[in-house]
Amino acid sequence: MISRIPITELTYFSLFSYVTGHYSTENSEILQNARAIAYAIKNENYIATRKMWASEFVAKKLHEVMRSDFLWMDAFSSDAILVPVPRSSLTKQHTLWPSSEIAKKMENEGFGKAVQMIKRIKPVRKSSMCLPHERAKPIEHYDSLGFDKIPININVDKIILIDDVVTRGHTFMGAAWKIFEKFPKSKICCFAAVRAISQHHNFKKWFDPVKGKIEYRKAEEDCLRNP
């Protein structure tokens, strides 16, 4: 159990968005396309229309944003450590791990070095299968994570947590607390390929790069994401 909350706010970046749950028929084709992209990324599928795997598509689109947005250039650089966030189930070899694939493709594009620094040692409830009040809290994610073998002599001044989808940011916050234990002087931020949107009227378009904040609320023991 964590004795003191070390981080209460995280900067996060995200490229795509999609609407969870049911939605009206208004703009349904656009919403369905967004959901299809999100599904492909969550499952590391081959995107036939793009002729590449989902993780490669994410890295290529990130490169596209980097060419025109200085706010992103400061975060994504070759000296960053890219840490994939484990899935909700136990971390095992030779199993699907989309965030790890994204981190590897980001490394290929020159956005840092992919390092599997943390692993899931105790399963938690999967956010997409839970009602909002049933989702695992940041402290549960923190308690369920352990450290993997960390290469020696790596520069950990800048660490970017990598995930396929962000909902409210509970996983990111718990992972950041875990990493803070070993690297308290590191600058930690987050990248999620896709952000989940609960209300369809807040949806703009499937490719909608944003830089936002994840804030921990001590009283509620949860997080709020903006946007």
For residues 227 and 212, the answer to whether their CB atoms sit within 8 Å is yes
pTM over 0.85: yes
Model confidence over 86-104: pLDDT tens digits?
999 988 788 899 999 999 9
What is the average pLDDT score of the chain? 92
- Inform me whether the pLDDT recorded for 9 exceeds 70: yes
- Per DSSP, what are the bridge partners of residue 16? 194, 207
- Return the residue matching tokens 């028929």: 25
Query: Hey, where are the domains in the chain?
Result: 13-213
Determine the pLDDT at residue 125. Answer: 84
Assess whether pLDDT exceeds 70 at residue 117: yes
What pLDDT is stored for residue 149 in this prediction? 86
Select the more confidently predicted residue: 197 or 69.
Answer: 197
User: Could you read off the pLDDT of 158-169 as tens digits, one per residue?
Assistant: 999 999 999 999
Q: Which residue has the higher pLDDT, 128 or 101?
A: 101
CATH hierarchy code of domain 13-213: 3.40.50
Residue 212 has pLDDT above 70, yes or no: yes
| Cα 75 from Cα 83, distance rounded (Å) | 14
